[in-house]
Amino acid sequence: MDDSTVTVKSGRHDKWLLLIHQIPPKPDYFRVKVRRRLQRIGAVALKNSVYVLPSRPQTIEDFRWLLREIVAEGGEATVCEAEFVEGITRDDLEGMFRAERDRDYAELILAAKESEIETDLGRLRRRLEEIMEIDYFSAPGRRATEQALTTIEARLHAPAGRAGGRQRRAETMTGRTWVTRRDVFVDRIASAWLIRRFIDPKARFKFVGSKTYQPKSGEVRFDMFEAEYTHEGDRCTFETLLGRAGLRDRTLIAIAEIVHDIDCKDEKFGREEAAGVAAMVRGIARTNPADAARLERGAAAFDDLYASLR
């Protein structure tokens, strides 16, 4: 049997889709892109360069789109349906799919246990929905994952100590001069809007050139070296402020995801609005050299974005 032949045995009339492909050696990033796309659509590897999905309208479309991308980059790809051939049973195949999804669910449970803020919960819920969409054969890990997210949600929304927490946050996050680096861009513009709009209505902003600026009495730093509010782990400053202020507005969570994708450049949330918002902020920065003007124009833009997403 040559490398392009794959055998699938099934005792039923169920059909499977096979993607058989050959990717050119260059560019290197494209091979990584294809592998990630296969993971995203839930395909399972039967052997090198041969992937399988259950035959359904959506999976046919997924494989066809991937085939076109591979061919457009100079590779080769074939999509076909298979049934009643020898080599692997239907139970074997379903077990492979369940095992893949259980690994996804296990990673999500681990992330849920480390979750501390509402923005994390929104991201985890979205990831659960993504896994469920490709959980073609009901992997057993799904129920435990749903329970883990329910538990973290209950902890975040627990009423105990809420009033005291709000009071402590008000004491440390209001009536301040907020200090940040000069030449503000997306994370700092969005964070300043969040601060004045939802955290500290009387906030004053100060822009400094030193990365190691030490705050004076009544000042608090954001998005700069060793600041009180800055990047934490893989979270941008906007996400940090949102969590530390205890804000659970779903629209703000959506904006946090957009700002993260632009600022961190990791496509963590895959927000389709990110490209447009990034272009808007670049325009604000190019036409407004003064930081105060950037914050003013940015505040109006994020007000509009907030209204749109609501």
- Do 261 and 286 fall into the same domain? yes
- Written as one string, the DSSP assignment of 147-209 is HHHHHHHHHHT--TTHHHHHHHHHHHHSS-EEEEESS--HHHHHHHHHIIIII-TT-EEEEES
- Do 225 and 246 fall into the same domain? yes
Tokens of 113: 């246990």
- Do 181 and 290 fall into the same domain? yes
The alpha carbon of 211 is separated from its chain's Cα centroid by a whole number of angstroms, namely 29
Write down which residue in 112, 130, 156 finishes a domain. Answer: 156
Residue 192 lies in a domain: yes
- Do 298 and 167 fall into the same domain? yes
pLDDT above 50: residue 1:
no
- Do 119 and 176 fall into the same domain? no
- Do 52 and 123 fall into the same domain? no
Average of per-residue pLDDT across 11-24: 80
Q: What is the pLDDT of residue 116?
A: 59
pLDDT band at 117 (very low <50, low <70, confident <90, very high): low
- Do 171 and 146 fall into the same domain? no
Sheet holding 44-47, edge to edge: 44-47, 50-54, 16-22, 76-82
Residue 304 lies in a domain: yes
Q: What is the pLDDT of residue 167?
A: 46
- Do 166 and 287 fall into the same domain? yes
CATH of the domain at 43: 3.30.70.240
pLDDT above 80: residue 132:
yes
Residue 54 lies in a domain: yes
- Do 105 and 83 fall into the same domain? no
Q: Which residues contact 8 (CB under 8 A, 6 or more apart)?
A: 16, 18, 52, 82, 83, 85, 87, 88, 93
Write down which residue in 71, 88, 105 finishes a domain. Answer: 88
- Percentage of the chain beyond pLDDT 70 is 87
Residue 6 lies in a domain: no
- Cβ contact 98:18 at 8 Å: no
Q: Which of 32-41, 76-85, 161-170, 288-297 has the lowest mean pLDDT?
A: 161-170
- Do 179 and 288 fall into the same domain? yes
Backbone angles phi, psi at 17, to 5 degrees: -100, 135
| CA dist list (Å): 168 to 161, 172, 262 | 11, 6, 31
- Do 71 and 82 fall into the same domain? yes
Q: What is the pLDDT of residue 115?
A: 66
- Do 72 and 103 fall into the same domain? no
Write down which residue in 137, 156, 175 finishes a domain. Answer: 156
Q: What is the pLDDT of residue 171?
A: 52
Residue 150 lies in a domain: yes
Average of per-residue pLDDT across 161-170: 48
Q: Which of 95-104, 126-135, 288-297 has the lowest mean pLDDT?
A: 126-135
pLDDT above 80: residue 270:
yes
Residue 7 lies in a domain: no
193: containing domain: 162-309
Residue 5 lies in a domain: no
Tokens of 132: 């469920």
pLDDT above 50: residue 163:
no
pLDDT above 70: residue 242:
yes
pLDDT above 70: residue 87:
yes
Q: What is the pLDDT of residue 88?
A: 83
Q: What is the pLDDT of residue 10?
A: 39
Residue 53 lies in a domain: yes
Q: Which of 22-26, 55-59, 110-114 has the lowest mean pLDDT?
A: 110-114
Mean confidence (pLDDT) of the chain:
86
pLDDT above 90: residue 126:
no
- Number of domains within the chain: 3
Q: What is the pLDDT of residue 161?
A: 47
